[in-house]
Structure 1
């Protein structure tokens, strides 16, 4: 069987690249395609030495640093890949990869991290944060996003089987594409986050990039109003001043900044609970905390609904300091949460489980086609 793996673009080793890594392990003889490939040498290990077939965007001016500027050309670029002769095409998509063109003899399975959120429900937020609410640039961007929405929905019709990375993403796929999606959770490297043996030190922990949607400021405000409970905040980013302002004058809140992997694991292993206030498509950090045996206190929307179980954490229903305080109180008043239960929960999201689920899904589809 001839297989092609279609990825969005390669410029780092993050969540979507970990999915591609698992696909390569499933189909080691597959050809790999991407809009462009600017991976640093230190991040190329998961490709196992294979050549990535790229589009014309790879050769456009300033593409190495500014390839996202060419978003409007990416639907054309992805459609130029020749998929003739492939029995199976598996795309990993959060923008345009799922738009690759396939014929009737090719099974196209698309693993969707999210439809293009900046073109759909987050358009207003994207324009505001980019300073594009007004003027000619803003008008052009609105026109471009409108065109992308039309293409996004029409190209989704060419997928034979859609897989969402969480129930939340499956709901978004149903809303914007009018397609039903299976759910297979993304792989998490649970072995890097082991179950700790040291005693819990009593602090609460939040580890996140300091960007607005992570709502770390709400967690800081909540713990400023709970002076008897210690909070450690790790991470850096543009929203750090806002978070520091929310924590102003609170001696129980400690900022660690960006920490090395070993320190993050140690902090997580010794935390009383991991606090999370963002609405994420999935939430890999939540699984990593559970792998350390650490309970979760998380906002009950997005991928957290798929991760947090009644015996491994507490969900809260609103992005507010009051809701976080109530959730911490409920956690403290509730029955003790077993580190072993948290660890067992995390193992549901291992790479091995991901590969088994993908293999079973694709094999079923191939059998239905008589392949």
Structure 2
């Protein structure tokens, strides 16, 4: 058996897409967790966090691309989508032994040399050029007429680059089995599944629940909050919606008096509502989905659309019995959601909050740390021994 590799002796670079105050999703949590266990230099297309006194990255040197200096880049780099592949390829990482990328768009496309090992934690292949292409075209003003054909050409070229750049990765890590299947479908590459870290210890456990349902989400179309609102309009049960986004005004106009919108709220308020809600409602198809796990950490059951990461994080009580943590529904319609809520009401007394909480611990940061570091060491050992990497097998 070979000696373990000491990754602390390696010079490591970590590449992520963008670091801004508004970017606080699962991918950023993974970056933070990696940096807490691995000594690495950080690179991103744009960085507005190292100058933010409230950020854990405050004062940290971070390499950035030319996108940093373009107008309104802090508001989001998606407007510069055609330039992102070019920008990520400008990072000169030749001095590093190990390249780690945290990628949901282009970070995996950095250029490396033969003696360098590149391991990518893939949160998702770019949804707007793969799964959500036609949704994006339908909803965007750039999806119609002559601009629509230009947009289609751009997306076609991005798909070509995306597949090409996947060949620059030696080993892929996926944040769920669902994402691993998408990586195979898009790139024909296998991926190790390591669930992202969820700060379950941050969420207070509460066995006694109050009489309202809850959803916490960005108010954007693919989160399907409109589906939840329409269903609860008909059900009449109290629903609390926490979050902000471009669909906020439309959703509020759609909602009846039993639905209350609180807008964006600090963590302490979100944690309080999650711990007190009778159930958390989730209608999106996500690659993993951190919010349902956070709800379960409070002992709160989840009513979720039965697709994507929810199939791996929520245990339907009709199948799991005493260890069940929620109710799954299909298809992704308000009728199916309404039936799931009625099922939850019928089976509510069977849920054991302690079992719901216990299930969430499977996704704790300590589990991520152990699996991620172990996988890095294994990949580095195989690379040093000259064993073909996963990218060389096919």
Same-fold call, TM cutoff 0.5: yes
Could you say which residue in structure 1 is the equivalent of 2:328?
315
Residues 44 and 78 of structure 1: CA distance in aligned 2, closer, same or farther (over 3 Å): farther
Could you say which residue in structure 2 is the equivalent of 1:142?
152
Q: Distance in 2 between matches of 1:131 and 1:50?
A: 39
What RMSD, in angstroms, separates the aligned Cα atoms of the two structures?
2.1
Residues 60 and 41 of structure 1: CA distance in aligned 2, closer, same or farther (over 3 Å): closer
List aligned pairs for 1:97-108, cutoff 5 A.
Answer: 97-108=107-118
Could you say which residue in structure 2 is the equivalent of 1:224?
233
1:19 CA displacement: 1.2
Q: Distance in 1 between matches of 2:210 and 2:71?
A: 53
Paired residues of 1:20 and 1:92 also in contact (CA < 8 A): yes
* CA deviation string 1:46-67 (max 9, x = no partner): 3364201112222345544464
Q: 2:141 aligns with which of 131, 140, 151?
A: 131
Q: Distance in 1 between matches of 2:139 and 2:327?
A: 32
Paired residues of 1:223 and 1:325 also in contact (CA < 8 A): yes
1:148 CA displacement: 0.9
Q: 1:282 aligns with which of 284, 288, 298?
A: 288
2:100 match: secondary structure: strand
Could you say which residue in structure 2 is the equivalent of 1:257?
263
1:291 aligns with 2:297: yes
Could you say which residue in structure 1 is the equivalent of 2:79?
69
TM-score normalised according to structure 2 size: 0.86
Paired residues of 2:50 and 2:57 also in contact (CA < 8 A): no
Q: Distance in 1 between matches of 2:131 and 2:276?
A: 38
Could you say which residue in structure 1 is the equivalent of 2:383?
369
Mean CA deviation greater in 144-153 or 185-194 = 185-194
Gaps of 5+ in 2: 1-9, 386-394
* CA deviation string 1:183-203 (max 9, x = no partner): 111122223212126x31122
Q: 2:174 aligns with which of 144, 164, 177?
A: 164
1:290 CA displacement: 0.7
Aligned length: 366
Could you say which residue in structure 1 is the equivalent of 2:69?
59
Paired residues of 1:218 and 1:246 also in contact (CA < 8 A): no
Could you say which residue in structure 2 is the equivalent of 1:93?
103
Paired residues of 2:121 and 2:175 also in contact (CA < 8 A): yes
1:139 match: secondary structure: helix
TM-score normalised according to structure 1 size: 0.91
Q: Distance in 2 between matches of 1:71 and 1:194?
A: 40
* CA deviation string 1:4-42 (max 9, x = no partner): 1111121234122221111111212x1111112122633
Residues 206 and 308 of structure 1: CA distance in aligned 2, closer, same or farther (over 3 Å): same
Residues 58 and 246 of structure 1: CA distance in aligned 2, closer, same or farther (over 3 Å): closer
Q: Distance in 1 between matches of 2:231 and 2:70?
A: 48
Residues 149 and 44 of structure 1: CA distance in aligned 2, closer, same or farther (over 3 Å): farther
Q: 1:355 aligns with which of 344, 363, 369?
A: 369
Residues 255 and 104 of structure 1: CA distance in aligned 2, closer, same or farther (over 3 Å): same
1:369 match: secondary structure: helix
2:119 match: secondary structure: strand
Q: Distance in 1 between matches of 2:252 and 2:20?
A: 31
Paired residues of 1:11 and 1:40 also in contact (CA < 8 A): no
Q: 2:192 aligns with which of 179, 182, 189?
A: 182
Paired residues of 2:51 and 2:59 also in contact (CA < 8 A): no
